[in-house]
Amino acid sequence: MRLLVIGGVAAGLSAAARARRLDASLEIVVLEKSGTISYGACGLPYFIEGRVRQAEDLVVYTPEYFRKERNITVRTGAEVVAIQHPRREVQLRSGERVHYDRLVIATGARPLESAAQANEFTLHTIDDARRLKQFLVEKRPRRAVVIGSGYIGLEAADALRRNGLAVTIYDRNRNILHRDDEFLTGTIRKHLEQFRIDLHMGCEGVRDGADLVILAQGIRPNVELAAEAGVEIGRTGAIRADERMQTNLSSVFAAGDCVQTINVVTGCPAWLPLGTTANKMGRVAGANATGARERFPGIAGTIIVNVCGLAIGQTGLSVAQARAAGFDPVHARIDSLDRPRYFQGKRITVELVADRQSGRLVGGMVLGDEGVAGRLNVIATALQNRMRVDDLEMLDLCYAPPFAPVWDPVLIAAQQLKKV
Protein backbone atom coordinates (compact mmCIF):
# COMPACT_ATOMS: atom_id res chain seq x y z
CA MET A 1 0.00 0.00 0.00
CA ARG A 2 1.53 3.31 -1.11
CA LEU A 3 0.65 6.76 0.18
CA LEU A 4 1.78 9.46 -2.22
CA VAL A 5 2.06 13.08 -1.06
CA ILE A 6 2.36 15.98 -3.51
CA GLY A 7 4.19 18.81 -1.76
CA GLY A 8 7.04 18.67 0.74
CA VAL A 9 6.75 21.70 3.00
CA ALA A 10 4.38 22.15 5.95
CA ALA A 11 1.19 20.23 5.16
CA GLY A 12 2.75 17.54 3.00
CA LEU A 13 5.45 16.52 5.43
CA SER A 14 3.08 16.71 8.40
CA ALA A 15 0.79 14.32 6.54
CA ALA A 16 3.63 11.93 5.75
CA ALA A 17 5.01 11.98 9.29
CA ARG A 18 1.59 11.41 10.88
CA ALA A 19 0.80 8.56 8.51
CA ARG A 20 4.10 6.89 9.39
CA ARG A 21 3.39 7.10 13.12
CA LEU A 22 0.07 5.33 12.63
CA ASP A 23 1.13 2.75 10.05
CA ALA A 24 4.66 1.36 10.08
CA SER A 25 4.02 -0.89 7.07
CA LEU A 26 2.81 1.83 4.68
CA GLU A 27 5.08 2.88 1.82
CA ILE A 28 5.19 6.69 1.85
CA VAL A 29 6.58 8.80 -0.99
CA VAL A 30 6.67 12.61 -1.01
CA LEU A 31 7.16 14.51 -4.28
CA GLU A 32 8.45 18.10 -4.00
CA LYS A 33 9.08 20.17 -7.12
CA SER A 34 11.66 22.51 -5.53
CA GLY A 35 15.06 21.60 -4.15
CA THR A 36 14.29 22.37 -0.50
CA ILE A 37 11.82 20.80 1.92
CA SER A 38 10.62 21.48 5.46
CA TYR A 39 11.66 25.08 6.03
CA GLY A 40 10.18 27.88 8.12
CA ALA A 41 8.68 30.21 5.52
CA CYS A 42 7.51 32.59 8.24
CA GLY A 43 11.16 33.22 9.08
CA LEU A 44 12.05 34.55 5.62
CA PRO A 45 11.60 38.26 6.52
CA TYR A 46 13.92 37.78 9.50
CA PHE A 47 16.58 36.32 7.20
CA ILE A 48 16.25 39.46 5.05
CA GLU A 49 16.47 41.59 8.18
CA GLY A 50 19.63 39.80 9.33
CA ARG A 51 18.35 38.29 12.56
CA VAL A 52 18.52 34.86 10.89
CA ARG A 53 22.06 34.65 9.55
CA GLN A 54 21.72 32.00 6.86
CA ALA A 55 18.78 30.76 4.82
CA GLU A 56 19.86 27.22 5.72
CA ASP A 57 19.08 27.98 9.36
CA LEU A 58 15.40 27.97 8.38
CA VAL A 59 15.56 24.39 7.08
CA VAL A 60 14.16 21.99 9.67
CA TYR A 61 14.60 18.58 8.04
CA THR A 62 16.29 17.14 4.95
CA PRO A 63 15.21 14.31 2.65
CA GLU A 64 18.00 12.22 4.15
CA TYR A 65 16.54 12.69 7.62
CA PHE A 66 13.13 11.45 6.49
CA ARG A 67 14.70 8.47 4.77
CA LYS A 68 16.81 7.42 7.76
CA GLU A 69 14.64 8.39 10.70
CA ARG A 70 11.10 8.05 9.35
CA ASN A 71 11.42 5.55 6.50
CA ILE A 72 9.79 8.09 4.19
CA THR A 73 11.06 8.67 0.65
CA VAL A 74 11.23 12.37 -0.21
CA ARG A 75 12.08 13.24 -3.81
CA THR A 76 13.04 16.84 -4.61
CA GLY A 77 12.96 18.26 -8.13
CA ALA A 78 9.93 16.04 -8.79
CA GLU A 79 7.20 18.24 -10.26
CA VAL A 80 3.80 16.62 -10.76
CA VAL A 81 2.07 17.84 -13.93
CA ALA A 82 -1.00 15.58 -13.93
CA ILE A 83 -3.05 13.40 -11.60
CA GLN A 84 -4.75 10.48 -13.35
CA HIS A 85 -7.00 9.23 -10.59
CA PRO A 86 -8.81 6.45 -12.49
CA ARG A 87 -5.39 4.84 -12.98
CA ARG A 88 -4.18 5.84 -9.49
CA GLU A 89 -1.03 7.49 -10.76
CA VAL A 90 0.58 10.89 -11.23
CA GLN A 91 2.78 12.04 -14.08
CA LEU A 92 5.97 14.01 -13.47
CA ARG A 93 7.38 16.67 -15.77
CA SER A 94 10.14 14.22 -16.64
CA GLY A 95 7.52 11.87 -18.04
CA GLU A 96 7.81 9.36 -15.21
CA ARG A 97 4.59 7.93 -13.80
CA VAL A 98 4.24 7.19 -10.08
CA HIS A 99 1.52 4.90 -8.75
CA TYR A 100 -0.46 5.52 -5.56
CA ASP A 101 -3.16 3.81 -3.54
CA ARG A 102 -3.94 6.89 -1.49
CA LEU A 103 -3.04 10.47 -2.26
CA VAL A 104 -2.56 13.68 -0.28
CA ILE A 105 -2.53 16.92 -2.29
CA ALA A 106 -0.52 19.64 -0.54
CA THR A 107 0.39 21.90 -3.44
CA GLY A 108 0.30 25.13 -1.42
CA ALA A 109 -0.17 28.59 -2.90
CA ARG A 110 1.71 31.12 -5.03
CA PRO A 111 1.96 34.93 -5.21
CA LEU A 112 -0.73 36.81 -7.10
CA GLU A 113 1.95 38.57 -9.14
CA SER A 114 5.29 37.24 -10.32
CA ALA A 115 8.45 39.30 -10.44
CA ALA A 116 8.93 40.63 -13.98
CA GLN A 117 11.86 43.03 -13.50
CA ALA A 118 15.35 42.50 -12.13
CA ASN A 119 14.57 44.67 -9.10
CA GLU A 120 11.21 43.00 -8.32
CA PHE A 121 10.93 40.22 -5.76
CA THR A 122 8.37 38.07 -4.02
CA LEU A 123 9.04 36.64 -0.57
CA HIS A 124 7.28 33.29 -0.77
CA THR A 125 9.99 30.64 -0.93
CA ILE A 126 13.46 30.18 0.49
CA ASP A 127 14.90 30.71 -3.01
CA ASP A 128 13.04 34.05 -3.21
CA ALA A 129 14.71 35.10 0.03
CA ARG A 130 18.16 34.08 -1.18
CA ARG A 131 17.77 36.13 -4.37
CA LEU A 132 16.53 39.17 -2.47
CA LYS A 133 19.36 38.94 0.06
CA GLN A 134 21.92 38.73 -2.74
CA PHE A 135 20.39 41.80 -4.42
CA LEU A 136 20.61 43.78 -1.18
CA VAL A 137 24.27 42.88 -0.75
CA GLU A 138 25.37 43.41 -4.35
CA LYS A 139 23.22 46.37 -5.49
CA ARG A 140 22.86 48.23 -2.19
CA PRO A 141 19.45 49.77 -3.02
CA ARG A 142 18.36 52.90 -1.16
CA ARG A 143 14.61 53.19 -1.89
CA ALA A 144 12.12 50.34 -1.67
CA VAL A 145 8.45 50.01 -2.52
CA VAL A 146 6.34 47.27 -0.94
CA ILE A 147 3.09 46.40 -2.71
CA GLY A 148 0.68 45.02 -0.13
CA SER A 149 -0.01 45.58 3.57
CA GLY A 150 -0.67 42.03 4.70
CA TYR A 151 1.59 40.50 7.30
CA ILE A 152 4.27 39.57 4.72
CA GLY A 153 4.27 43.11 3.33
CA LEU A 154 4.55 44.66 6.78
CA GLU A 155 7.34 42.30 7.85
CA ALA A 156 9.20 42.90 4.60
CA ALA A 157 8.92 46.67 5.03
CA ASP A 158 10.31 46.42 8.56
CA ALA A 159 13.18 44.17 7.40
CA LEU A 160 14.14 46.56 4.60
CA ARG A 161 13.97 49.54 6.95
CA ARG A 162 16.38 47.76 9.29
CA ASN A 163 18.71 47.37 6.28
CA GLY A 164 18.79 51.14 5.91
CA LEU A 165 16.33 51.55 3.01
CA ALA A 166 13.68 54.23 2.72
CA VAL A 167 10.42 52.27 2.47
CA THR A 168 6.98 53.09 1.07
CA ILE A 169 4.00 50.72 1.30
CA TYR A 170 1.15 50.80 -1.24
CA ASP A 171 -2.05 48.77 -1.11
CA ARG A 172 -5.14 48.95 -3.30
CA ASN A 173 -7.20 47.96 -0.23
CA ARG A 174 -8.17 50.57 2.32
CA ASN A 175 -7.51 48.50 5.43
CA ILE A 176 -4.27 46.99 6.69
CA LEU A 177 -4.15 43.22 7.27
CA HIS A 178 -7.51 42.89 5.48
CA ARG A 179 -9.20 43.47 8.85
CA ASP A 180 -11.73 46.08 7.69
CA ASP A 181 -10.94 48.10 10.81
CA GLU A 182 -10.28 51.85 10.57
CA PHE A 183 -8.87 52.02 14.11
CA LEU A 184 -6.30 49.31 13.38
CA THR A 185 -5.27 50.90 10.09
CA GLY A 186 -4.93 54.33 11.70
CA THR A 187 -2.92 52.98 14.63
CA ILE A 188 -0.47 51.13 12.39
CA ARG A 189 -0.15 54.16 10.10
CA LYS A 190 0.88 56.37 13.02
CA HIS A 191 3.32 53.75 14.24
CA LEU A 192 4.93 53.36 10.81
CA GLU A 193 5.31 57.13 10.49
CA GLN A 194 7.48 57.11 13.62
CA PHE A 195 9.89 54.86 11.75
CA ARG A 196 9.70 56.84 8.49
CA ILE A 197 7.74 54.20 6.58
CA ASP A 198 5.19 55.85 4.31
CA LEU A 199 1.82 54.13 3.91
CA HIS A 200 -0.58 54.75 1.01
CA MET A 201 -3.86 52.82 1.13
CA GLY A 202 -6.53 52.61 -1.54
CA CYS A 203 -4.16 53.13 -4.45
CA GLU A 204 -1.98 51.18 -6.83
CA GLY A 205 1.73 51.01 -6.18
CA VAL A 206 3.96 53.67 -7.73
CA ARG A 207 7.15 51.83 -8.68
CA ASP A 208 8.93 54.56 -10.63
CA GLY A 209 12.08 55.64 -8.87
CA ALA A 210 12.27 52.61 -6.60
CA ASP A 211 15.51 50.66 -6.49
CA LEU A 212 13.71 47.61 -5.10
CA VAL A 213 10.09 46.40 -5.27
CA ILE A 214 8.54 43.73 -3.05
CA LEU A 215 5.37 42.13 -4.44
CA ALA A 216 3.31 41.15 -1.41
CA GLN A 217 -0.29 41.86 -2.39
CA GLY A 218 -1.41 38.32 -1.66
CA ILE A 219 -1.34 34.71 -2.81
CA ARG A 220 -3.69 32.28 -4.56
CA PRO A 221 -4.12 28.54 -3.95
CA ASN A 222 -2.46 26.12 -6.35
CA VAL A 223 -5.54 24.16 -7.36
CA GLU A 224 -5.13 23.68 -11.11
CA LEU A 225 -3.57 20.23 -10.79
CA ALA A 226 -6.35 19.03 -8.48
CA ALA A 227 -9.15 20.63 -10.51
CA GLU A 228 -7.98 18.98 -13.74
CA ALA A 229 -8.12 15.64 -11.93
CA GLY A 230 -11.74 16.21 -10.94
CA VAL A 231 -11.23 17.48 -7.37
CA GLU A 232 -14.01 19.89 -6.38
CA ILE A 233 -13.05 23.53 -5.82
CA GLY A 234 -14.91 25.51 -3.15
CA ARG A 235 -16.40 28.99 -3.19
CA THR A 236 -13.16 30.53 -1.89
CA GLY A 237 -11.24 29.26 -4.92
CA ALA A 238 -9.39 26.65 -2.85
CA ILE A 239 -9.96 22.89 -2.75
CA ARG A 240 -13.12 21.80 -0.98
CA ALA A 241 -12.49 19.07 1.59
CA ASP A 242 -14.55 17.83 4.54
CA GLU A 243 -13.45 17.94 8.18
CA ARG A 244 -11.46 14.73 7.57
CA MET A 245 -9.59 16.53 4.74
CA GLN A 246 -11.20 14.10 2.29
CA THR A 247 -11.94 15.47 -1.18
CA ASN A 248 -14.81 14.36 -3.41
CA LEU A 249 -12.51 11.71 -4.93
CA SER A 250 -12.14 8.45 -3.03
CA SER A 251 -8.78 7.96 -1.30
CA VAL A 252 -7.72 11.52 -2.18
CA PHE A 253 -7.08 13.96 0.65
CA ALA A 254 -5.91 17.59 0.59
CA ALA A 255 -4.24 19.85 3.13
CA GLY A 256 -2.51 23.19 3.54
CA ASP A 257 -2.62 26.46 1.64
CA CYS A 258 -4.43 24.91 -1.31
CA VAL A 259 -7.48 23.96 0.80
CA GLN A 260 -10.38 25.91 2.27
CA THR A 261 -11.79 25.19 5.70
CA ILE A 262 -14.58 26.46 7.97
CA ASN A 263 -14.50 29.65 10.00
CA VAL A 264 -15.53 28.54 13.50
CA VAL A 265 -17.15 31.92 14.19
CA THR A 266 -19.34 32.21 11.08
CA GLY A 267 -19.59 28.56 10.09
CA CYS A 268 -18.86 29.60 6.49
CA PRO A 269 -16.06 28.44 4.17
CA ALA A 270 -12.81 30.31 4.74
CA TRP A 271 -9.36 30.38 3.21
CA LEU A 272 -6.57 31.75 5.39
CA PRO A 273 -3.19 30.32 4.37
CA LEU A 274 -1.01 30.01 7.47
CA GLY A 275 1.70 27.56 8.49
CA THR A 276 -0.11 26.66 11.70
CA THR A 277 -3.25 25.70 9.81
CA ALA A 278 -1.29 23.81 7.15
CA ASN A 279 0.50 21.65 9.70
CA LYS A 280 -2.69 20.73 11.53
CA MET A 281 -4.53 19.99 8.30
CA GLY A 282 -1.61 17.83 7.20
CA ARG A 283 -1.70 15.78 10.40
CA VAL A 284 -5.40 15.09 9.96
CA ALA A 285 -5.03 14.23 6.26
CA GLY A 286 -2.13 11.89 6.95
CA ALA A 287 -3.94 10.14 9.78
CA ASN A 288 -7.11 9.60 7.77
CA ALA A 289 -5.14 8.39 4.78
CA THR A 290 -4.19 5.41 6.98
CA GLY A 291 -7.83 4.75 7.89
CA ALA A 292 -8.11 6.82 11.07
CA ARG A 293 -11.12 9.06 11.84
CA GLU A 294 -9.58 12.37 12.88
CA ARG A 295 -11.11 15.78 12.13
CA PHE A 296 -9.98 19.34 11.58
CA PRO A 297 -12.59 21.65 13.19
CA GLY A 298 -11.76 24.87 11.34
CA ILE A 299 -10.07 28.16 12.16
CA ALA A 300 -10.77 31.38 14.02
CA GLY A 301 -8.40 33.36 11.78
CA THR A 302 -5.70 34.05 14.35
CA ILE A 303 -2.62 35.96 13.18
CA ILE A 304 0.09 38.02 14.84
CA VAL A 305 2.80 40.18 13.30
CA ASN A 306 5.55 42.38 14.70
CA VAL A 307 6.09 45.70 12.92
CA CYS A 308 8.86 47.97 14.13
CA GLY A 309 8.52 46.64 17.67
CA LEU A 310 4.71 46.75 17.80
CA ALA A 311 2.99 43.37 18.10
CA ILE A 312 -0.34 43.28 16.26
CA GLY A 313 -2.62 40.33 16.91
CA GLN A 314 -6.13 39.61 15.66
CA THR A 315 -8.55 36.72 15.71
CA GLY A 316 -12.14 36.24 14.64
CA LEU A 317 -14.09 39.17 13.19
CA SER A 318 -13.86 42.94 13.32
CA VAL A 319 -17.03 44.93 13.93
CA ALA A 320 -17.52 45.49 10.20
CA GLN A 321 -16.85 41.85 9.37
CA ALA A 322 -19.23 40.68 12.09
CA ARG A 323 -21.98 42.91 10.76
CA ALA A 324 -21.41 41.64 7.23
CA ALA A 325 -21.63 38.06 8.55
CA GLY A 326 -25.08 38.70 9.99
CA PHE A 327 -24.24 39.38 13.63
CA ASP A 328 -25.43 42.39 15.62
CA PRO A 329 -21.97 43.40 16.85
CA VAL A 330 -20.98 45.46 19.87
CA HIS A 331 -17.41 46.11 20.91
CA ALA A 332 -15.23 47.47 23.67
CA ARG A 333 -11.66 48.70 23.37
CA ILE A 334 -9.48 49.39 26.40
CA ASP A 335 -5.96 50.67 26.99
CA SER A 336 -4.19 49.08 29.92
CA LEU A 337 -0.76 47.85 31.07
CA ASP A 338 0.61 44.39 30.44
CA ARG A 339 2.13 44.40 33.96
CA PRO A 340 1.70 46.63 37.03
CA ARG A 341 3.09 50.12 36.63
CA TYR A 342 5.61 49.53 39.42
CA PHE A 343 6.93 46.56 37.41
CA GLN A 344 7.61 48.65 34.29
CA GLY A 345 4.29 47.76 32.72
CA LYS A 346 3.90 48.74 29.07
CA ARG A 347 0.82 49.92 27.25
CA ILE A 348 -1.40 47.29 25.69
CA THR A 349 -4.69 47.68 23.80
CA VAL A 350 -7.37 44.99 23.80
CA GLU A 351 -10.54 45.07 21.72
CA LEU A 352 -13.33 42.50 21.98
CA VAL A 353 -16.31 42.08 19.66
CA ALA A 354 -19.48 40.20 20.60
CA ASP A 355 -22.95 39.54 19.26
CA ARG A 356 -25.45 41.74 21.12
CA GLN A 357 -28.28 39.21 21.22
CA SER A 358 -26.44 36.07 22.27
CA GLY A 359 -23.52 37.61 24.14
CA ARG A 360 -21.21 35.31 22.21
CA LEU A 361 -17.67 36.53 21.57
CA VAL A 362 -16.98 36.81 17.81
CA GLY A 363 -13.64 38.59 17.56
CA GLY A 364 -10.74 40.29 19.24
CA MET A 365 -7.59 42.30 18.70
CA VAL A 366 -4.52 42.96 20.86
CA LEU A 367 -1.81 45.59 20.23
CA GLY A 368 1.27 46.24 22.33
CA ASP A 369 4.99 45.99 22.89
CA GLU A 370 4.85 42.85 25.03
CA GLY A 371 2.36 40.28 26.30
CA VAL A 372 0.30 40.26 23.10
CA ALA A 373 0.58 36.63 21.99
CA GLY A 374 -0.60 35.08 25.25
CA ARG A 375 -3.65 37.31 25.48
CA LEU A 376 -4.52 36.79 21.83
CA ASN A 377 -4.37 33.04 22.42
CA VAL A 378 -6.86 33.38 25.27
CA ILE A 379 -9.29 35.16 22.94
CA ALA A 380 -8.74 32.61 20.16
CA THR A 381 -9.46 29.79 22.61
CA ALA A 382 -12.66 31.53 23.64
CA LEU A 383 -13.74 31.81 20.01
CA GLN A 384 -12.94 28.16 19.30
CA ASN A 385 -15.15 27.16 22.24
CA ARG A 386 -17.99 29.58 21.38
CA MET A 387 -17.69 31.32 24.75
CA ARG A 388 -19.92 34.18 25.84
CA VAL A 389 -18.59 37.43 27.27
CA ASP A 390 -19.85 36.36 30.72
CA ASP A 391 -17.64 33.26 30.51
CA LEU A 392 -14.61 35.22 29.36
CA GLU A 393 -14.98 37.76 32.17
CA MET A 394 -14.67 35.01 34.79
CA LEU A 395 -11.69 33.12 33.35
CA ASP A 396 -9.12 32.23 36.01
CA LEU A 397 -6.14 33.92 34.38
CA CYS A 398 -2.74 34.05 36.03
CA TYR A 399 -1.46 36.98 38.07
CA ALA A 400 1.99 37.92 39.32
CA PRO A 401 3.67 41.32 38.91
CA PRO A 402 6.38 40.10 36.47
CA PHE A 403 3.69 38.76 34.13
CA ALA A 404 0.34 40.53 34.49
CA PRO A 405 -1.68 42.97 36.60
CA VAL A 406 -4.26 41.63 39.04
CA TRP A 407 -6.97 42.47 36.48
CA ASP A 408 -5.68 41.17 33.19
CA PRO A 409 -6.40 43.47 30.20
CA VAL A 410 -8.51 40.71 28.61
CA LEU A 411 -10.74 40.61 31.70
CA ILE A 412 -11.00 44.40 31.80
CA ALA A 413 -12.07 44.43 28.14
CA ALA A 414 -14.65 41.72 28.87
CA GLN A 415 -16.04 43.78 31.75
CA GLN A 416 -16.37 46.84 29.53
CA LEU A 417 -17.96 44.82 26.75
CA LYS A 418 -20.48 43.34 29.19
CA LYS A 419 -21.56 46.88 30.13
CA VAL A 420 -22.18 47.64 26.46
pLDDT value of residue 192: 97
What pLDDT, in 10s, does the model give residues 245-270? 999 999 999 999 999 999 999 999 99
One domain for residues 198 and 329: no
Same domain flag for 15 and 143: no
Q: Does 89 lie in the same domain as 12? A: yes
- 52 found inside a domain: no
Claim to verify: residue 272 and residue 337 sit in the same structural domain: no
- The span from the CA of 282 to the CA of 3, in Å, is 13
Q: At what angle do helices 372-384 and 409-419 cross, to 10 degrees?
A: 50
Domain that holds residue 369: 309-419
Collect the ranges in the chain with pLDDT lower than 50.
Answer: none
Q: Does 245 fall in a domain? A: yes
Out of 194, 215, 236, a domain closes at 215
pLDDT at position 140, please? 97
Please count the structural domains in the chain.
3
Query: How far is the C-alpha of 260 from the C-alpha of 252, rounded, in Å?
Result: 15
Q: Are residues 27 and 84 in the same domain?
A: yes
Determine the Cα angle at 318 with ends 409 and 261, to 5°: 110
Question: Can you give the length of the chain in residues?
Answer: 420
Identify whether residues 158 and 103 lie together within a single domain. no
pLDDT score of 208: 81
Q: What is the CA radius of gyration of the chain?
A: 23
Whether 211 and 226 map to the same domain: the answer is: no
Task: Look at residue 294 and tell me if it is in a domain.
Answer: no
- In this structure, the answer to whether residues 85 and 233 fall within a common structural domain is yes
DSSP 307-320: ETTEEEEEEE--HH
398 is catalytic: no
Residue 202 CA, chain-centre distance (Å), reads 23
Helix (H) or strand (E) holding 66: helix 63-70
Q: What pLDDT, on a 0 to 100 scale, did the predictor assign at position 209?
A: 85
Among 42, 203, 308, 398, the one annotated catalytic: 42
Residues contacting residue 349 through CB under 8 Å, at least 6 positions apart: 187, 333, 334, 335, 336, 365, 366, 367, 368
pTM of the model: 0.94
Are 387 and 316 within 8 A, CB to CB?
no
Q: CB of 105 within 8 A of CB of 252? A: yes
Whole-angstrom Cα distance, residue 309 to residue 191?
Answer: 9
Question: What is the domain-level CATH number for residue 166?
Answer: 3.50.50.60
Check whether residue 346 and residue 318 sit in a common domain. yes
- Shared-domain flag, residues 128 and 155: yes
